[in-house]
Every structure is written in C-alpha cells, then in structure tokens.
Amino acid sequence: MNYLQFKLSCVISIALSLLVGTSSVHAEKYSSINFNSQNVINLSGMVGKTRLTESFVVEELDDSTGVVSLMLASNAYRWGDPEVLTQKEFDEAALISSQSKWISRSGGALTISITKGKFIRFIDQHITTGDGYSELYKYAGTIPKTGLHQIDVSYSSDAPGSFIINAESGRALYVHGSDLTSISNNGKRLFVMNDGLNPPFGFLVSSLTSDAHGIEIECASAGSSTAKIIPFFKGWHTDPYIGFDMVILSKTEKQNIYEAIPIKVSQRLGKWHVSVPNPQRFTQLTKISCWQ
C-alpha cells in the first residue's frame, strides 16, 4: 500500500467511525414509537385480558341510602368526563408553543423531550403503494391535573387513538379511540372500558402518579361468555372517596330484554371492592370476574 492509499484508507475509516458514532447517539436519543413499541403500555390491548393475580368476590351493594336509584337515573350531570381523551379540534402550533420546553415539531416528526436528556419521537407514516396507509400524530396539549402530555394519532385504516406521555420518566400509555376513557378528579387514575361489542367485555383502572403506570384493578367477562353487554360509565365518586359508578345492560342469548345492573367500584383501606344489588345474579348473567 502506497502513501496515498494509506491516507485514503485512514480518511475512510475516520469517516465511518464518525458515521457509526453519530448513528449510535441518534439511536439512543431518538426512537420513533407506536402503540406496539416496547416502552408503550397499550391499555386498550389489556382490557378484557386479565394480568393481575388476586381475584376477589363481588359484594352486595348497600342500598340503604337509595344509591341504586341514583345510579340508574338518567341525568345530564356526571362526575368526571368519560370523554376526556376524545379527539377534538385544536391549534397544534399554539399548544406546542405553550409547551416548547417539552414539545417540538419538524415536518412530520413530533418530539417529546424527557427529563433525563432523551427524547421520544412520533413520525408520520405515508405509504402510497397498494391500498395506501397513513399514520398521523398531533400534539393535543397537557391533560388537566396530571401534567401528562397527550398525543393523538389518526390512522387511515382504523379508529384513532391517544398516547399519554410522562415527560419525567418517558413512559407512555396508549388508549384506542373506540374505548371509553376517563381520568379521575384528582388526576391520579385512568379508567378504560371497551364497548362490549366484541367479547370479552372488560374495564380496568391504571395509576397515573409519578412513574407508577401499573394496573390497580381489572374486571372482565369470561372468554366463553355469550352474554350481551352494553356498558355505561356514570362517573367518578367525589373526594375523598376513591372509585366510580357504572351501569351495564346485560342479557343472555335466550333473553328478549336487557337487565340493568348498577355497579359501584371503590377502594377502601387499600383494597378494591365491586358491589352490585344481587352478586349471584350478576355473576350468573354477565360471567364477569375481577382482580387486583
């Protein structure tokens, strides 16, 4: 090898090492994620699929104060907002400007800064071949009382969804747009419930505090259940009580009419409790079990 060849070889080696180094840093700081990513907790994908191990018995609801009538009553007022994560029209540029410390956009790339010097990146996808496909991300601002960031995603071939990002830890939750999603009054818990159209029916509550995105309670109907279930979320209990009310209409394939079943879900002394007027009938009809 002559001097010129040697010098050229050195230049190429240095260029390659710089390129590899740049790629390595880039891979560490940026990652394009979606609901299937390893660091995303897909809560909608968990609804109806039990992950917890401690099952508990459904209790009889105390109706001494007439709570059943209140739960069944149709009224416009609800505690909490069951549609808190429903996608709405908004000015993304203004929202990004108000959160410029954390959020930035460059073309089709939306970047969320994380406290420890790293980033999460959502990148729009456009595939024009075949039937075509698109995946578009928009920053929807912060969620009240939580400090968490919401990123909405729309798909050309599916219902939309939303990501909830903790900028302190970098952890991300995902909920599908077809699920009913509500955040508790104090911003510490997230309720997710499917519509019951595609069994198994189920709902869960996940913690939103700090980095604790763990599931606290989940209830689901048996996979073999043929019961028809139409669920209604009635709202969170007012402080200092932890929990919420819901009503489900349910019937078996042999029934012609639905039965309305009020359900009270609450936490007392660190344990979750589910109460209904007739536990035996509830279990027999809906085949719903609960875990915490």
Mean pLDDT of 84-97: 83
Lowest-pLDDT range, 56-60, 237-241, 242-246?
Answer: 237-241
Higher per-residue confidence, 186 vs 47: 47
Lowest-pLDDT range, 23-27, 63-67, 187-191?
Answer: 23-27
pLDDT at 237: 85
pLDDT class of 85 with cuts at 50, 70, 90? low
pLDDT class of 270 with cuts at 50, 70, 90? confident
Query: Is 268 within the bounds of a domain?
Result: yes
Burial class (CB in 10 A: 0-12, 13-18, 19+), 236: buried
Nearest to 196 by CA among 243, 151, 258: 258
Whether pTM > 0.85 for this model: the answer is: no
How many structural domains compose the chain? Answer: 1
Asked if the model's pLDDT at residue 204 lies above 90, the reply is: yes
Query: Is 25 within the bounds of a domain?
Result: no
Query: Is 206 within the bounds of a domain?
Result: yes
Query: Is 229 within the bounds of a domain?
Result: yes
Mean pLDDT of 169-194: 89
pLDDT class of 12 with cuts at 50, 70, 90? very low
Query: Is 18 within the bounds of a domain?
Result: no
pLDDT at 210: 58
Domain around 52: 30-291
Contact partners, residue 128, CB within 8 Å, separation at least 6:
none
Query: Is 189 within the bounds of a domain?
Result: yes
pLDDT at 239: 67
Query: Is 12 within the bounds of a domain?
Result: no
Query: Is 16 within the bounds of a domain?
Result: no
Arithmetic mean of pLDDT over the chain? 81
Three-state SS sequence of the chain: CCHHHHHHHHHHHHHHHHHHHHHHHHHHHCCECCCCCCCEEEHHHHCCCCCCCCEECCEECCCCCCHHHHHHCCCCCCECCCECCCCCCCCHHHHHHHCCCCEEEECCEEEEECCCCCEEEEECEEECCCCCEEEEEEEEEEECCCCEEEEEEEECCCCCEEEEECCCCCCEEEEECCCEEEECCCCCEEEEECCCCCCCCEEEEEECCCCCCCEEEEEEECCCCCCEEEEEEEEECCCCCEEEEEEEEEECCCCCCCEEEEEEEEEECCEEEEEECCHHHHHHHHCEEEEC
Chain segment 19-55, per-residue pLDDT in tens: 223 222 233 344 578 888 888 889 999 998 877 889 9
Mean pLDDT of 103-129: 89
